[in-house]
Chains A and B, each alone.
Chain A
Amino acid sequence: MSVKRYSSMEYDNFEDLLFGHSKYPVKTGLDLEIGAGYTTAEINYAPRPNAAENQATLVNEYERITRDIMERMVQVGFPSVVLETEHVQQMTHNPEWGADIANAQKAIMEDYHDEYGIKCALRHTVGDVRGDREKIDLRGDAYSRILESFDQVASSGADMLSIESLGGKEVFDHAILRNDMRGVIFSVGILGALDVEYIWQDICNIAKKNKVVPAGDTACAQANTAMFVAGGLLDFKLSHSMASVVRAISASRSLAAYEAGAIGPGKDCGYENNIIKAITGYPISQEGKGSTCAHSDLMGNMSMQCCDLWSNESVEYRGDFGGTTVQCWGETLSYDCSMMNTALEAGVGKTLRDVLMVSDRYRDPQAFILSYDNAYRIGEVITAHPDDLYLRAKEAGMKACELIESGSAGFLELSKFEKATINKAWNDLKSLDENKESFICNCLDTYSSEVDTFNTSNYGL
């Protein structure tokens, strides 16, 4: 498949961005249509650690998980549900394990669909196992195993294919701990985008062959690392403004999957998906207040603003007072979706969207730049430079700085530290090389010597 760059926004106006509605809905699974006027819960889970002992125990664990979820959905009257199985390593390393699990899950979902008519679909997110103890080998044997895993799950019941790709992580980890904006642009905007583009061309071919959906990627390994290190308001680990700039840049990386043929819904943990939806018109999955089982964040309501699937990120399967964890969190997510769907039916969807957005808009710079109006503005600068991965990543970062700076003149309060950080990030970005070629050349010199796991051949450089 060829790569087609976005040079314009699929949405004409940020006011048109709304949960449950996407410009290009995705039909998938058993009668489900994502982004076609309603939202659906996407429930994500991790098996209990001892369940991965062998293939049979793991298949059995996922059968229990699937049955529990489907049963709770019909018990409480929810019309649709998506299950996301994020592979534990054994499932990707042994593609037949993943295939068996997809097959077992889908059989249960089909039973419930047949009996109750509940609309449902299964996403499998294959593990990115391209790194090991000694090195990161993005295009070697492990890559072939990933593709084999995609092919097997796609032919065995998975309706949507995703991955949380690793590309650029080795340089990003080095850069983010040193406030090195040049390294951030290089790792996320260049290396990450090159890897996403490479892997998604192959995933899209596999999806086409198996007639399933190439859904999308996430910059989890970069932007979420920054977000988690930044932590809460009183965690003085990483500037939240810096994490915001990384998030904006990461949209350029995640967009590469769609430019290679992905059609959504993008992965839940891609908080940059608001920007992606504005650019591509494809539906997105998001997580927020329903994913506190996995982590805290500073935009728990706001991330519902444009979601099409509403996710809990991940929860370990075990018993809780209200049932198993997948039942409890699935029910919470589905009630949120019920609220959004009711608002849509009543014609007050945009009012609810704005309430959700404004309740977090000023909580943190990260939330501020992802508010749908600002997300749209970041999308505009990315699409203004369609043929230059470097320039579009740099401009996305600079737009985030500009938005935070202008926001701080209003209700977005910044500490002295955050103000200093955003000024430094902005100046660092302004002082970067003029063109992509010299930027890449200089970065190759620097990071080849500073990061021992960085191998240029992983990126075709």
Chain B
Amino acid sequence: MIDINPKNTLIRYNILVESDMAPEEMAEKLYPTDPHIRQIAKAVFEGDEDEVVAALQNTIDSGVDPLSLINDALMAGMEVVSTLYDYGLLYLPDVIISAQAMIEGIEYCKEQSKQVHESKGKIISYVVEGDIHDIGKKIVTVLLRANGYEVIDLGKDVPVEEVVAAVKKEKPIMLSGTALMTTTMHAFKDVNSRLLASDINVPVVCGGGAVTQDFISDYDLGVYCEEAADVPKIADSILQGLDIRKLRDTFHKH
């Protein structure tokens, strides 16, 4: 069997660019300084649901408003996770595990408060009609919730009529649709047409297996998204006032 030292035939760029700093070390530099808040943020980073609730309880017992902890502590912890993910120091399962812990924390804070918590905005997520591949949608949904959005998850294989009816009822800031197969992705076109016919100009953010930027660019409401982690950033951009053209300028990479 032939074997060679591959140093002249391939470059493992992931090792070349690897940070010397461990993610935990980097996170320590990013946590909020207040000891109570820091404890909650750290528990989110570590994805420890029990510790998140325990740390929240401690802080609430010391007189802090539960709802304020959603933004000040839970979101702060998730921000550390997102930052390290963007730096390539954390991987998707780390983000998912932290996000689940954070969502638990949000629910706990809501239960502890008598006031209503306002989300950053409402988003509808779904997998197109005829398609049951939903791992991408699951990832997007968790990431959006972890970033403070209320997600109306319509599930998989969702008929066009149901998507349109949900948009009319819920009035979301955007839709997030995924499709794996070329044969199902034309459902995006139908959603686009039906929404336009009703004078609804909500961005339809589309991604998944066979979906391409060229395909989505053909539809007035379409915004192509290649990376699940970009979906919360698109939502943030919509809140900052970016319209579909500017969203395309920012997030269309090809």
Residue numbers of A with Cβ under 8 A of B are 15, 46-50, 52, 88-89, 131-133, 173, 176-179, 225, 229, 233-234, 236-239, 316, 351, 354-355, 357-359, 361-363, 373, 411, 413-417
B17 touches A177 (CB 8 A): no
Shortest CB distance B12–A (Å): 5
Total count of chain B residues near the partner, CB < 8 A: 40
B18 contacts A358, C-beta separation under 8 Å: no
Identify which of B9, B138, B139, B158 contacts A133 (C-beta below 8 A): B158
Asked if B90 contacts A236 (CB within 8 A), the reply is yes
Q: Give every chain A residue within 8 A of B132 (Cβ-Cβ).
A: 131-133
Flag the segment in B53-61, B92-100, B217-225 that touches A: B92-100
Query: Which residues of chain A have C-beta atoms less than 8 A from B197's C-beta?
Result: none
CB distance from A291 to the nearest CB of B (A): 14
B residues with CB within 8 A of A: 1-6, 9-10, 12-15, 17-18, 22, 85, 88-93, 96-97, 130, 132, 134-135, 138-139, 155-158, 181-183, 185-186, 210
**Residues of chain A contacted by B92 (CB below 8 angstroms):** 177, 229, 236-238
The residue on B at minimum CB distance from A87 is B183
CB-CB under 8 A from B139, the residues of chain A are 177
**Residue pair B17, A413 in contact (C-beta under 8 Å):** no
Q: Would you call B183 and A133 a contact (CB within 8 A)?
A: no
Among B2, B89, B138, B183, the residue within 8 A (CB) of A354 is B2
The minimal Cβ–Cβ distance linking A320 to chain B, given in whole angstroms, is: 14
Residues of A within 8 A of B183 (CB): 46-47, 49, 52, 88-89
Partner of B93, one of A131, A178, A225, A355: A178
Residue of B whose beta carbon sits closest to that of A180? B93
Closest chain B residue to A134 by CB distance?
Answer: B155
B85:A177 contact, CB within 8 angstroms: no
B4 to A358, Cβ gap below 8 A?
Answer: yes
Complex Cα distance, B138 from A417, in Å, reads 25
The answer to whether B156 touches A133 (Cβ under 8 A) is yes
Assess whether B96 is in contact with A177, with CB atoms less than 8 Å apart: yes
Besides A236-B91, A355-B2, A358-B2, 6 more A-B contacts (Cβ < 8 Å) are: A173-B135, A177-B139, A237-B92, A238-B93, A361-B3, A363-B6
User: Which of B4, B17, B210 touches A234 (beta carbons < 8 Å)?
Assistant: B17
Cβ-neighbour of B91 out of A52, A238, A355 (below 8 A) = A238
CA distance A178 to B135 in the complex (A): 12
- Pair A373/B88 contact, Cβ less than 8 Å: no
The answer to whether A177 touches B93 (Cβ under 8 A) is: yes
CB of B157 within 8 A of CB of A411, answer: no
User: Given the complex of chains A and B, what is the CA–CA distance between A373 and B4 in angstroms?
Assistant: 15
Residues in B with CB closer than 8 Å to A238 are: 91-93
A358: chain B residues within 8 A (beta carbon): 2-4, 6
Q: Which of A133, A237, A359 contacts B157 (CB 8 A)?
A: A133
Closest A residue to B87 using CB positions:
A236
**14 sampled A-B residue pairs with Cβ under 8 A:** A46-B183, A49-B182, A88-B181, A132-B132, A132-B157, A177-B92, A178-B96, A179-B97, A234-B17, A236-B85, A236-B91, A237-B91, A358-B3, A417-B18
Question: Which residue of B is nearest A237, CB measured?
Answer: B92
What is the chain B residue whose CB lies nearest that of A371?
B1
User: Which residues of chain B are within 8 angstroms of A131 by Cβ–Cβ distance?
Assistant: 132
Taking CB atoms, residues of chain B closer than 8 Å to A133 are 132, 155-158
Asked if A416 and B22 make an inter-chain contact with CB atoms under 8 angstroms apart, the answer reads: yes
Cα distance A89–B93 in the bound complex, in angstroms? 31
A177 partner residues in chain B, CB cutoff 8 A: 92-93, 96, 135, 138-139
Minimal Cβ-Cβ distance residue in A for B1: A354
Chain A residues near B2 (CB-CB < 8 A): 351, 354-355, 357-358
A411 CB contact (under 8 Å) in B6, B88, B93, B186: B6
Are the C-beta atoms of B10 and A363 separated by less than 8 Å? yes
CB-based nearest A residue for B89:
A236
Task: Tell me which residues across on chain A come within 8 A of B89, comparing CB atoms.
Answer: 236
Bound-state Cα–Cα, A324 to B3, Å: 39
| A234-B13 contact in complex given A133-B132, A133-B158, C-beta closer than 8 Å | yes
Closest to A128 in B: B132
